[in-house]
Structure 1
Amino acid sequence: MTRPGQAPRSAPAALALGLLLSLLLVTVAVITVRDLVVSQGWAEGSPWIPSWVDGLDGLTPGTPVLVAGIVAALVGLLVLVLALRPGRKTHVPAARGGDLWLTPDAVATVAATAADRTSGTLSATPVRATPRGATVQVLTRGGDGRAAQEAAREVVGDLTPMSISVKAKELSS
């Protein structure tokens, strides 16, 4: 959740890793409940966890244990760094201030619509949109697309300080 005046951001990068670790913990919980049900005699079978612990019983400190410990520590540090790193900005502020935010894709679509409505333009399509700028591809009947570029920049300039690049392509008959 964002506070007023603060740019909306994407989810932290640790989200995917956190979901993976939570699925791992749910799996451990399911195995533990299964072993509880088996050990209480409510189901047939033999518990799994005691046999796994018995397999680790003779384990002595050595290179494999050291490597596993280092890997676990590095994964923990990675999760910590990813959780503390803020998500990337997903919106750009509106030009008139306030608490209005626009997605770069929406700004590119508005620019393409404005460029499409100029004379001599057959079609205008948003090609790329980032928080810094957007690119619109314009197909013209004859001309260099300056009118489309001016219209797109004028409309976007009223919305946000994002830069707009209009690439004109002339239709060959």
Structure 2
Amino acid sequence: MTWEKIIESSLMDLDNFLRHSDWFGRENEIINLFAHKFLAMRLGQTPLMSLTQIGIEVAVKQIHDRNKGKKFVRKDLVLWPMEDQTVWRSHKNSFNVPAAIIEWKINNESNCKYDIDWLTKYTLENHDCLGYSVCVHIKHKKQIVVVKIKDGLVILDF
């Protein structure tokens, strides 16, 4: 199995769950639900071999055009290629690149624009990383809208 298949099948399962349940929560709760229920179901399917590959609100290296400020930024959900990884390596100025970064917003797709722009630049600089922007509609019609970003290209329908 690939990271894309694991992530996308987990997102489809989340979408189906939301459409057929009365679940309600905020951004932090949906991220935890996705990680602990839907990604965890695929634990043991290569490349997702350990829960320690899943990071919630963890640091990644900032993109080059925004380096004037923070060197690192926190992202909603990060999947690491290897277990026990973080952004930092033991070598100074050497950093791990995640397998995927998933950014989340609730009820308003226009709030995803910044995330999509950032993920586009990040995946262009880091070709081994996938990006996903997920807008979860909770209030009315429960569903998710996903934008996939790969190699700096926005793919609307995965």
Normalised by the length of structure 2, the TM-score is: 0.25
Structure of higher CA gyration radius: 1
Structure with more of its chain in helix, by fraction: 1
TM-score by length of 1: 0.24
More strand by share: 2
